[in-house]
């Protein structure tokens, strides 16, 4: 896979070599067991896959290239390039300005842009409407387009099945930049509707089967369907694509569910006494095969998290931007099993007993006391009776340096911890 030129301060002298060590010994990425860093009084299980993915590294490289190549020009990002506060803050410190925020609210008026300005398209891509707006100003929208190729793959698949007269069902968060972009591209080729979760997919099934009145659809899915959408006409043949940062298992679950709805609607399981397993073409008459739209990085990170959770631990730390979709899903997985703290960086670890972290249900930061010292009465300033065990991972837009900072911050609370060089010696060629 291509290597990218990204700033050294996003890399880590600990985490980056660990990743490379594992990669060399598992080039086919079949081993999802975590990496163990045992410092004695505190021990870490680090996920096999985490951090910058191909699309993010590509975006970071292009953004810093744009800055280097245009020292005398104004540089704008359509919105956050990736959902990581450190990366976006660094770009802003270098003079990059945002045109919109992540919800699409205008921060820089279109009227203030000129053809001499530079605009960077974020990794999530953008809508066709925004592309046309930029082009009308005379801006080059292709030169610094960091759209992830796996996002573009979803757009291409939506277009392909649209040309075959399927309606596109997008599984994603309706307000997310990537979902808005995918919806914009998809609706040019096919009637399109967005479902945000299984509950909405189940409601959509009612309109597929005709159990729910079509006129009710428009209120229930307001803002989530393309112009002229007619549920009675447009839900006869469907295909499911995804926002690439959703839980892969959720997208697959929705696709499998809607596929079964179509099988039952058209009585395909008994058509001509032929099974759908032996004759998948019967199903594909009404339900498109779109399995190849799931992002490899999202899959790998989520599979690595499932493997990580097989190991007993006291708590989990998940690093990333609070508005990062893929990170929030990793937090969900961990929180089902053990106390989990979602933090942006080591700065949120206030002391050996206080941590400021994001509560995904309250949608705000909260402070938890005794997050380390409540463990069986052990305190970091004393020799614990057993190792404090931490599961550590992060989202696809989180730099290795952030993970290193969190690891070293936690180790610093344990005076008897082994030196990092000694611990890392197991992972040197």
Catalytic site residues? 178
**Beta strands at 238-242 and 167-171: parallel, antiparallel or unpaired:** parallel
Whether 282 and 267 have beta carbons less than 8 Å apart is answered as: no
Separation CA 194–CA 243 (nearest Å) = 10
Question: How many other C-beta atoms can be found within 10 angstroms of the C-beta atom of residue 55?
Answer: 23
Q: What angle do CA 65, 66, 70 make, to 5 degrees?
A: 115
H helix and E strand count, the chain? 15, 13
Q: Buried b vs exposed e over 66-88: b needs ≥16 C-beta within 10 Å?
A: bbeebeeebbbbbbbbbbbbbbb
Helix locations, 94-225, DSSP H: 128-137, 149-163, 177-186, 198-209, 214-220
Nearest to 237 by CA among 218, 256, 259: 259
Q: Are 304 and 330 in contact (CB under 8 A)?
A: no
């Amino acid at each position: 896979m291509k290597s990218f030129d990204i700033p050294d301060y996003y890399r880590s002298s600990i985490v980056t070599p660990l990743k490379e060590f594992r990669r060399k010994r598992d080039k086919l990425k079949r081993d999802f067991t975590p990496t163990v860093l045992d410092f004695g009084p505190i021990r870490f299980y680090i996920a096999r896959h985490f951090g910058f993915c191909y699309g993010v590294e590509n975006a970071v490289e292009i953004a810093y290239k744009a800055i280097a190549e245009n020292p005398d020009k104004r540089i704008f990002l359509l919105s956050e390039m990736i959902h990581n506060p450190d990366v976006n803050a660094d770009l802003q410190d270098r003079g990059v300005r945002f045109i919109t925020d992540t919800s699409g609210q205008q921060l820089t008026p279109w009227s203030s842009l000129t053809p001499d300005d530079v605009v960077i398209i974020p990794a999530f891509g953008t809508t066709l409407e925004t592309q046309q707006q930029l082009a009308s100003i005379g801006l080059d929208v292709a030169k610094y387009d960091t759209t992830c190729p796996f996002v573009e793959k979803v757009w291409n698949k939506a277009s392909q099945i649209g040309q075959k007269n399927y309606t596109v069902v997008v599984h994603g968060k309706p307000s997310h930049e990537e979902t808005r972009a995918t919806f914009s591209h998809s609706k040019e080729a096919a009637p399109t509707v967005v479902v945000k979760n299984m509950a909405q997919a189940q409601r959509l099934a009612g309109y597929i089967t005709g159990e729910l009145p079509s006129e009710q659809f428009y209120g229930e899915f307001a803002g989530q369907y393309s112009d002229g959408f007619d549920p009675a006409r447009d839900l006869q043949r469907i295909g499911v694509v995804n926002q690439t940062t959703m839980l892969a298992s959720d997208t697959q679950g929705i696709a499998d569910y809607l596929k079964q709805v179509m099988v039952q609607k058209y009585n395909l399981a008994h058509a001509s006494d032929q099974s759908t397993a032996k004759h998948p073409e019967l199903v594909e008459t009404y339900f498109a095969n779109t399995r190849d739209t799931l992002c490899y990085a999202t899959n790998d990170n989520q599979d690595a998290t499932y493997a990580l959770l097989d190991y007993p631990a006291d708590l989990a730390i998940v690093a990333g931007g609070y508005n990062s979709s893929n990170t929030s899903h990793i937090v969900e997985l961990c929180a089902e099993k053990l106390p989990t703290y979602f933090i942006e960086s080591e700065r949120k670890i206030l002391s050996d007993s206080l941590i400021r972290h994001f509560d995904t249900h309250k949608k705000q930061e909260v402070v938890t006391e005794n997050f380390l010292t409540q463990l069986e009465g052990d305190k970091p300033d004393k020799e614990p009776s057993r190792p404090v065990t931490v599961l550590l991972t992060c989202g696809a837009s989180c730099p290795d340096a952030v993970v290193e900072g969190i690891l070293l911050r936690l180790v610093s609370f344990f005076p008897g911890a082994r030196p990092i060089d000694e611990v890392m010696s197991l992972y040197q060629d």
